[in-house]
Amino acid sequence: MVEVGGRKAWKWALVLGAWPWLLVPPGQAGAVSSRQLVEIADFGSPVVSPDGRLVAYRVSQASIERNTDDTVWYVQRMDGTAPPRRVADGGVPLRDSAGIPVPAEMAWSPDSRWVFYRARLDGRVAVWRVSADGAVAEPVTDDAADVEEFALDAAGTRLTYRVGLPREAVRDAEEAEYDRGIRIDRAAPLGQGLFRSGLTEGRLATQRLGQVFNRVPLTAATATQWKAVGLDAGTRDAVPADAPAAPSLPAVLQDLPDLWQTADEPGGDRVAFLTRSGERTAQRRVELGVARGPGARDVVMCRAAACTGAEISGIQWRPGSEEVLFTVTRYTAGFAQSIHRWDVASGAVHPVAASNGMFAGEGRWGPGTCGVSAAALACVTAEANRPPRLERIDLATGARQVLFDPNEVLARDLGALDAELLRWSDADGQVFSGQLYPARRIDGRPPPLFVTYYRCMGFVRGGAGDEWPLAVLAEHGIATLCINAPSFSADAAERYGVGLSAVESAVDLLAAEDRIDRTRVGMGGLSFGSEVTMWTLIHSDLLAAASLASPTTSPMYYLLGSNIGEEFLSILRSNWQLGAPEETPADWQRISPTANLDRIRAPVLMQLAEQETMHGLDYMIPLMRDGRADIYVFPHAPHNKFQPRHKLAVYERNLDWFRFWLLGEEDAAPAKAAQYAQWRAMRERLGEDLAAR
């Protein structure tokens, strides 16, 4: 398998010429390496068999040598009496257009003998099945087109699946367009190569823009069709089929304006549901209830204290019971989760288990789900300094048992690393939370601080987007803080102002406690985190160095996006209060780095995805030419970089960058000599400006 790839202000006392610019041998500090963080084993959401005896799950792990991610399917007894059994190869992980892995699509047969899953193997995406004992693994579909989704019928005798154009027809369409020239229209992804320059379903493909900047395959608009195959012995010829019928909601829920999530009762007619109202996390109201369906009008709401005002984030039924299990995610406590069971008949709520981390730690941008049987849950657990593992959680007692821990060595190496949930408020009373990794003092001085802003869930290996090796930075003497964004105002200046206040108030707190050196603060971010980092560079003198993984809003971004038309322009107005640069010049002046080049005085490292780089060239090139930016672009990369070698290069360069600017250290590796020569030249040009602050 190969995947190609006001506020308080202060003056700085920083005088770069007085720093001890040392040469430090690589690997001298720290037991945890960047490579270990890249090669973490990650779990998909586990699924328990219908008889409750077994759990199936997929584990993916990067290989830097082969620059790919390997995925493996495991089946294990839920009672934990036997180790996991490796039953099948899961193929190359499929990803969305932002580079985030899509959840592993799988289903158990009703008799608990087979696991069905979608996988890219041998150059095609098909539905496979593997026996629970691993003795047989075989393709179920043999189609000229890639399978996009599938469904298993209730009896387990018929599999229905959806396909688009045959693979050969897709390639022919790409090559025909290449030969005749590619017409630029609103769907052309300007800013990247136009021929086979992005990964789609595991292959380099020609892409188009779907919704705004989301990429879709060239032939995405082609009609799809459903087919079906029988699963009995004998031939499995595909025949045309209707799309599987979507579950019908109870009438009482169909017009509910704030309906957010639903969960059907297994083998019953009830539907558990969540409603969610309010735009901001801090003001959001979530309610849990159960409705009978499909025609019934009665609803039972959970009125217990554990449900009222709780940040409920997920629901599922406990099989064969009157209970709905719900997960509470406390955003102001660093996304710490707890699980509860609500008896619908009695109204009683019983706690099951609580954690400082996550019980459903599949997602890096959001939680996954636990597998559930009548007796226990199978959950992927993760904490700030504890990488993912699979645990069994007894629903009656809350007892926890480790089923599989492929990251045991990394967990041991991280054992000496402190991770602290930090909670604080700014001068306006806004509450923030974040994960702090303290660092040792060097020569009696408090350490510098690196901050990243956006989301810090589960095992916080590299912040949102996974670009900064937080544990490794801490072990090298740079304290790191990953801050959770508490709210997302529709007003851009307010949104960014909250982020700047979070960083400034955290620096104030930690400096007052003599835990960090406020004259040596670095910051980095991806996506919204990049925007807040750029805002901090422009609107404060807080940062000594910065690192950006994404472009931010600028006239070039407007120019390229305007080709999309009103869909983009309306989002620009609503999210950033921006019209064309000549229409809203004051707002562009406040937000755009292009209009504030003279205010960006700290050195900036930019490690960008090829698909996005062009969006910021109007400020990147002037900063680079002026010796204030060092820019690297990663071919074929979407919003979130994911190729293992790219991830390692990003980790290592960010580590080198902040050691250089915040500690005055250089890695003595000969291969990095040119890098440091460039950074020394930047330091020399920036020295007078930084020393004058």
Query: Average of pLDDT values for 531-547?
Result: 97
Distance of CA 408 to the CA centre of its chain: 23
> What digits encode the pLDDT tens for the residues 545-595?
999 999 999 999 999 999 999 999 999 999 999 999 999 999 999 999 999
**Position 67 pLDDT exceeds 70:** yes
pLDDT band at 279 (very low <50, low <70, confident <90, very high): low
For residues 601 and 644, give the distance between their C-alpha atoms in angstroms, rounded to a whole number.
Answer: 32
Q: Which two tokens stand for residue 399?
A: 């007892």
For residues 41 and 406, give the distance between their C-alpha atoms in angstroms, rounded to a whole number.
Answer: 6
Q: Any idea where the domains of the chain sit in the sequence?
A: 33-241, 244-405, 413-554+592-691
Q: Please tell me the predicted confidence (pLDDT) of residue 362.
A: 57
Say if CB 615 and CB 556 are below 8 A apart. Answer: yes
For residues 582 and 96, give the distance between their C-alpha atoms in angstroms, rounded to a whole number.
Answer: 35
* E-assigned strand segments in 64-113: 68-77, 85-89, 106-108
CATH, domain range 244-405:
2.120.10.30
Instruction: Quote the DSSP letter at residue 673.
Output: H
Instruction: Identify the burial level of 268 via C-beta atoms within 10 angstroms of its C-beta, where 0-12 means exposed, 13-18 middle and 19 or more buried.
Output: exposed
Q: The tokens 């006392």 sit on which residue?
A: 13
Q: Which helix (H) or strand (E) holds 203?
A: strand 203-205
For residues 294 and 271, give the distance between their C-alpha atoms in angstroms, rounded to a whole number.
Answer: 9
Which residues on neighbouring strands pair with residue 43, listed in sequence order?
59
Higher pLDDT, 344 or 298: 344
Query: Average of pLDDT values for 116-122?
Result: 95
- For the chain, what is the mean pLDDT? 90
> What digits encode the pLDDT tens for the residues 195-208?
999 988 888 999 99
Ordered alpha helix ranges (H), 456-552: 470-475, 492-512, 528-539
Q: Which two tokens stand for residue 617?
A: 């060239």
Instruction: Identify the burial level of 217 via C-beta atoms within 10 angstroms of its C-beta, where 0-12 means exposed, 13-18 middle and 19 or more buried.
Output: buried
Say if CB 607 and CB 653 are below 8 A apart. Answer: yes
pLDDT band at 1 (very low <50, low <70, confident <90, very high): very low
> What digits encode the pLDDT tens for the residues 303-321?
999 999 899 999 999 999 9
Q: Which two tokens stand for residue 206?
A: 């020609």
Topology, domain 413-554+592-691: Rossmann fold (3.40.50)
Q: Please tell me the predicted confidence (pLDDT) of residue 689.
A: 60
Q: Which two tokens stand for residue 30?
A: 């720290």
Query: Average of pLDDT values for 662-684?
Result: 96
pTM: 0.92
Q: Please tell me the predicted confidence (pLDDT) of residue 30.
A: 46
Query: Average of pLDDT values for 244-267?
Result: 89
Among the residue ranges 108-122, 222-236, 336-350, 380-394, the one predicted with the least confidence is 222-236
Say if CB 574 and CB 580 are below 8 A apart. Answer: no
> What digits encode the pLDDT tens for the residues 436-455?
999 988 888 999 999 999 99
Q: Which two tokens stand for residue 445?
A: 């001085």
Say if CB 666 and CB 23 are below 8 A apart. Answer: yes
- Among left, alpha and beta (phi > 0; psi -120 to 50; other), residue 606 is beta
Q: Please tell me the predicted confidence (pLDDT) of residue 511.
A: 98
Among the residue ranges 91-95, 129-133, 345-349, 359-363, the one predicted with the least confidence is 359-363
